[in-house]
């Protein structure tokens, strides 16, 4: 029996000049409302010691729209402005629960350009998606169908740094779990090999960023020579952003293929609970670790195992998976294990170990022991 989940489907679309102009104005208003609400929250707490709720911020929005100097807020749909206030309230809730850092102000240049429309601010009929304040449906490239009979609950429109427009449609979908199986696997993430499995299989790291490094360096060097505020600067920034977007697209596609195969072929997957953010403090390996995208890989495994009735087993990050001999009956642990040591022989039982396969085998055993 399938389980109902909220699932986002992301599509590329191509706005008309009028739609692009309205959406850019909406992005600006969303950013302004977020920043004004955040500033007032901070001032209110410091000066008056008062906490702020979504109802308070919604009242402020009504007052701001009556201000002649902020009359442009009435030119865009009110729903995305309300949605950004709800998102801010959720951000504060996550902060006070210890799940996220303190909400920050949005920068015009660095912040993500996006706006979320609730069901009362768009229409979706016959495959045509039309947003509030627009006269024509969006020219969406429906490269894969939505679930049959699905009705979107929210629609998020965004534009990335490379100038591409996307629409993310949130719908309720029914996902059927995969048939149970006996196979289980330990997964050891690495740099030279993206993942090494306890079965002995190794998936080579494609090094997407490294493959484009020379091209990216040339584009960034050209960018550094452009005059601030010039049209050539904007063009050079777009070239750099397009290279980054291509790298990210390739990396995400590869990770989806790897994680989907692992989930389909195994009932349980064991992986180390690494703190990648702390590992990025190692300046010698930070670039390579970022290119490998271990956090993204784990995130995909988490939601895919949840969807398809599989089990993800997390092993403590301090578990000596590489130093421990995986031979049954042997419990020898090496004192040190430098990264350049790729294979080693156990002095106790004499077994020759491949470092990564041995680690994956130990990770599986530790995950099953804690299950």
Question: Nearest Cα to 297, choosing from 265, 253, 246, 354?
Answer: 253
Whether 118 contacts 157, CB under 8 Å: no
3-state SS string for 134-150: CCCCCCEECCCCCCCCC
Q: Which long-range contacts (CB under 8 A, 24 or more apart) does 56-60 make?
A: 57/85, 57/88, 57/89, 58/82, 58/85, 60/36
The 10 Å CB-count burial string (b at 16+, else e) for 211-237 is ebeeebeebeeebeeeeeeeeeeeebb
Tell me 324's DSSP state. Answer: B
356 labelled catalytic: yes
| 3-class secondary structure, 368 | helix
Q: Which of 272, 302, 354, 370 is catalytic?
A: 272
What backbone torsions phi and psi does residue 2 show, to the nearest 5 degrees?
A: -75, 155
Q: Which of 173, 188, 209, 291 is catalytic?
A: 188
Question: Nearest Cα to 359, choosing from 280, 264, 272?
Answer: 272
Sign of the C-alpha dihedral computed for residues 243, 245, 248 and 251 taken in this order:
negative
Whether 188 contacts 359, CB under 8 Å: yes
Q: Which of 173, 209, 291, 356 is catalytic?
A: 356
Q: Which residue has the tokens 């016959």?
A: 126
Looking at the chain, the number of H-run helices and the number of E-run strands are 10, 14
Tell me 333's DSSP state. Answer: B
Q: Which helix (H) or strand (E) holds 298?
A: helix 294-307
Pairing of strands 165-175, 268-272: unpaired
Task: Please classify residue 119 by burial: count the beta carbons closer than 10 Å to its beta carbon, then call 0-12 exposed, 13-18 middle and 19+ buried.
Answer: middle
Q: How far, in Å, CA of 59 to CA of 71, rounded?
A: 16
Active-site residues: which are they?
188, 272, 356
């Amino acid at each position: 029996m399938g389980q109902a989940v909220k699932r986002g489907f992301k599509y590329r679309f191509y706005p008309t000049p009028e739609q692009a102009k309205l959406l850019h104005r909406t992005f600006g208003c969303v950013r302004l409302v977020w920043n004004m609400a955040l500033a007032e929250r901070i001032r209110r707490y410091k000066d008056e010691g008062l906490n702020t709720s979504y109802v308070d911020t919604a009242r402020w929005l009504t007052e701001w729209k009556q201000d002649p100097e902020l009359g442009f807020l009435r030119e865009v749909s009110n729903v995305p402005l309300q949605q950004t206030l709800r998102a801010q309230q959720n951000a504060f809730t996550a902060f006070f629960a210890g799940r996220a850092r303190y909400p920050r102000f949005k920068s015009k240049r660095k912040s993500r350009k996006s706006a979320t429309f609730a069901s009362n601010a768009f229409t979706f009929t016959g495959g045509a998606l039309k947003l509030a304040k627009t006269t024509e449906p969006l020219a969406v490239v429906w490269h894969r169908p939505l679930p049959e009979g699905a009705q979107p609950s929210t629609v998020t429109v965004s534009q990335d740094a490379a100038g591409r427009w996307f629409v993310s449609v949130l719908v309720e979908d029914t996902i059927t779990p995969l048939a149970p199986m006996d196979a289980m696997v330990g997964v050891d993430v690495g740099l030279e090999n993206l993942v090494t499995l306890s079965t002995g299989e190794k998936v080579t790291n494609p090094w997407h960023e490294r493959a484009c490094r020379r091209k990216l360096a040339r584009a960034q060097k050209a960018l550094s020579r452009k005059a601030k505020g010039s049209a050539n600067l904007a063009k050079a920034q777009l070239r750099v952003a397009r290279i980054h977007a291509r790298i990210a697209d390739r990396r995400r596609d590869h990770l989806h293929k790897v994680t989907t195969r692992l989930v389909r072929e195994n009932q349980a997957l064991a992986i180390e609970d690494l703190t990648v953010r702390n590992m990025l403090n190692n300046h010698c390996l930070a670039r390579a670790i970022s290119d490998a995208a271990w956090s993204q890989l784990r995130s995909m495994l988490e939601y895919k195992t949840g969807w398809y009735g599989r089990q993800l087993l997390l092993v403590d990050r301090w578990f000596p998976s590489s130093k421990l001999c995986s031979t049954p009956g042997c419990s020898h642990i090496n004192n040190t294990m430098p990264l350049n040591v790729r294979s080693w022989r156990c002095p106790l039982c004499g077994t020759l170990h491949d470092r990564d396969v041995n680690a994956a085998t130990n990770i599986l055993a530790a995950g099953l022991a804690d299950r």
